[in-house]
Amino acid sequence: MRRSIAVLPGDGIGPEVVTESIKVLEAVGNRFGHDFVLSNGRIGGNAIDEYGTPLPQETVETCNQSDAILFGAVGGPQWDDPANDVRPEDGILAIRKSLGLFANLRPVKVYPALINSSPLKPEYLAGVDMLVLRELTGGLYFGKPKKRWTTSRGRRGVDTLKYTELEIERILRVGFELAMGRRKKLASVDKQNVLESSRLWREIALEVSEEYPEVEVEHILVDNAAMQLIRNPSSFDVIVSENTFGDILTDEASVLAGSMGMLPSASLSSLPGKNVLSKRVSLYEPIHGTAPDIAGQGVANPIGSILSTAMMLRLSFGMEEEANSVEAAVDSVLIEGYRTADISSDGGELVSTSAMGNVIANQI
C-alpha cells in the first residue's frame, strides 16, 4: 500500500523523536510491503525564523495533500517573549482548528516493565489502562475575546471558555463509542459547580448517555478527577474532557506511565475506525513538548512519538497488524531493559534516542 505522510518535526526534541518514528515506519514498510512517502514541512519556532509565521502556507498544503500528519513538538524559550505577536504554539493550534481535529485520543497505560519508573507506589499502578479523550478545537484555547489591554486601573487580560452544543455532543459521542469498544466505563469531566460551560457540558453528557445504556457513566468535577487519577487510576477507562482540562490531566496522567515521553496521541476529525480511507487527514503527536533543557543531546525518549506512529497506522491507514507489531516491539524492548534517561530510574541499559529507535525498529 502507498500512503503519503506529512512530517512536521517542529522544534527542540521534536526532530529527534520524529527521526526515530521514521526509522520505525521504514521497518514497517519493509516488513509489510508498504510505501510510505514522506514530505517534510516547517512549523513552530523554526518556521517563524525562516518565514515569519509558525504555519507557512506550504506546510498547510503539504498537510492537505497527505494521508496523515506526523508531528513532533513546537516552542522554545527563544520565542517566548510575551511581547511577540507570533508564537510557535499558534502553528499547531491553527492546524488543529483548520483541519477540524476536535477529538484528541491520549491513551495512558502502565507498562509492567516501567512500574518502578513512576514515583507512585506500584500497588496504585497495577491495571492502569485508560484513554483520555480531550476536546481539541474549542474552549479557552480558541474562544473570543482573547486579548490583553491596559486601562487607567492597570493591565487586563481575558480568555473565553465557550462551547457550543454541537462541539460538546460530538466529543462525548466519540467518547461513548470508544467506551463501547473498551471496558464500557466513561468519566465525563467538568466543573459544573462553577462554570456555565460545564453545566451545559453535564446536561449534554446526561442526554447522550441515555443512548448508551450499557456504558457506566460517572460525572466528575475536574479537581476531584485530578486527585482520583493519582489515588485510584485503574478505576478509569475512558475520560472525556474539554480542551484545557484535558491538557492538564494528561500531563498528570503521564506520571503514571513513568514519563511524559511515553504518551502518544491521535487528533481526529471523526470517529476513529470510521475515517479509514476517508479523505480527512488526522494528526499524530506525542503529548510532550520540545523539552529545551535536553534538546540536541540525543537523550529524549522517542517512544511517545513511535507509539503515535502506531496509532497512525491503525487509525488512518487501517493497518492493525502493522500497528500491533510496533506496539509489540516497544513492549519487548522495555522488557529487555532498554531505557532512555527519563525512564532509567529502575536501572536497565541506558540508551540514546537513536539507539532506542534502532532497537525498536529492529524488532519489527
Q: Which residues are catalytic?
A: 141, 191, 223, 247, 251
Distance CA 23, CA 12 (A): 19
**89 binding partner (options ligand IPM, Mg ion, none; Cβ < 5 to 8 Å by kind):** ligand IPM
Position 20 contacts Mg ion (CB under 5 A): no
CB count in 10 Å sphere of residue 154: 6
Site string for ligand IPM, 78-107 (x = CB under 6 A): -----------x--x---------------
Nearer to ligand IPM, 212 or 284 (CB): 284
Least distance from C-beta 334 to Mg ion, angstroms?
24
Per CB under 6 A, 261 contacts ligand IPM: no
Q: How far is the CB of 262 from ligand IPM (least distance, A)?
A: 14
Cβ 130 to ligand IPM shortest distance, Å: 16
Give one DSSP letter per residue of 113-152, joined into a string.
GGGGGSSS-HHHHTT-EEEEEEE-SSGGGTEEEEEEEEET
Q: Are 43 and 92 in contact (CB under 8 A)?
A: yes
Nearer to ligand IPM, 226 or 350 (CB): 226
Least distance in angstroms from the C-beta of 130 to Mg ion: 17
Sequence-distant (≥ 6) Cβ neighbours of residue 304 within 8 angstroms? 17, 260, 261, 262, 263, 264, 286, 287, 288
Pick between residue 28 and residue 171 the one whose CB is nearest to ligand IPM. Answer: 171
Question: Is the separation of the CB atoms in 273 and 103 below 8 Å?
Answer: no
Task: Decide if residue 247 touches Mg ion (CB under 5 A).
Answer: yes
| Residue 299 partner contact from Mg ion, ligand IPM, none using kind-dependent CB cut-offs of 5 to 8 Å | none
Q: Does 287 bind ligand IPM (CB under 6 A)?
A: yes
- From ligand IPM, Mg ion, none, interface partner of 20 (C-beta below 5 to 8 A by class): none
Least distance to ligand IPM from the beta carbon of 250, Å? 7
- Which of 15, 41, 56, 75 lies at the binding interface for ligand IPM (CB under 6 A)? 75
Sequence-distant contacts of 87-92: CB under 8 A, at least 24 apart: 87/54, 88/10, 88/11, 88/43, 88/44, 88/45, 88/47, 88/48, 88/54, 89/44, 89/54, 90/54, 90/55, 91/10, 91/43, 91/44, 91/47, 91/54, 91/55, 91/59, 92/10, 92/43, 92/44, 92/285
Residue ranges binding ligand IPM (CB under 6 A): 75, 89, 92, 247, 287, 289
